[in-house]
Amino acid sequence: MRVSFILLIAFSFSLTLQCKAQSDFLILKKNGKTVKSFYPGTEMNFYTSNRYHVGSVQSIERDSIYLIYYDVRTVMSTLGVYMLDTVATYPFSVAYRDITSFQKERKNFDWSSSGAALLGGGVLLSAAGLISWIFTKPNTEYHASPQLVIGAAAIAVAGYFLMKSGNKNMKLGKKYTLLYIKIK
C-alpha cells in the first residue's frame, strides 16, 4: 500500500515536470473591453508601418512575437490531381510595439467586395456608353442613351462609397489598445 502511494506521488510529479509552462500573451482591447487574446497557437493578421503580416504565433517572449508563415499553394500530385500543400514555412518575429493595426474579422456580408464589383461594372458600362457616343451617330442602334450612362455613373459612385465604408481596420491608439501580459 505504501509503495503504490509513493509511486503515485512520483508519477504525478513527473507529469508536472513534463507540462509546459504558460507563456506571455497579448490582449487587444477596445475601450477597455477585451476583443481578442493572442497566445501561442493563435493566428494573427496585422499591419506594421511597412507591411502586412499573417502567421501562427509560436511564442511571445520579451516584448517580441515569434510567428511562422505557412506558404500553402495548389500543386499537382503524382496522380495528376491538384491539391493544397505547404510549400515552405517562414519563421519571423515582430516587436509588439511595431504593430499599428489589426485586420477585422468579417462575420457578416462583405460590403466592400460588393462595392468593388459595383464600381467596376459602373465604370465599364459608363466607358462603353461614352465610347458609343464618340464612334456612332445619334439615333442609331448602337448609340447609348444618356439615361444608361448616367445610371452607370451613379452605380460606380455608389460602389466607390460602399467599398470605402467597409474596409476599416482596428487601428491602435485611442479606441484600440494592445497589452503585453508577462507571465514568467
The single-letter code of the amino acid at 78 is T
User: Which residues, listed in sequence order, are joined to residue 34 by a DSSP beta bridge?
Assistant: 29
Cell of 85: 500543400
**Segments making up each domain of the chain, as ranges:** 2-104+168-181, 111-165
Distance of alpha carbon 72 from alpha carbon 55, whole angstroms: 12
At 26-65, the pLDDT tens digits run 999 999 899 999 989 899 999 998 889 999 999 988 888 9
Prediction pTM value? 0.61
At 102-146, the pLDDT tens digits run 887 777 777 778 888 999 999 999 998 888 888 887 777 777 888
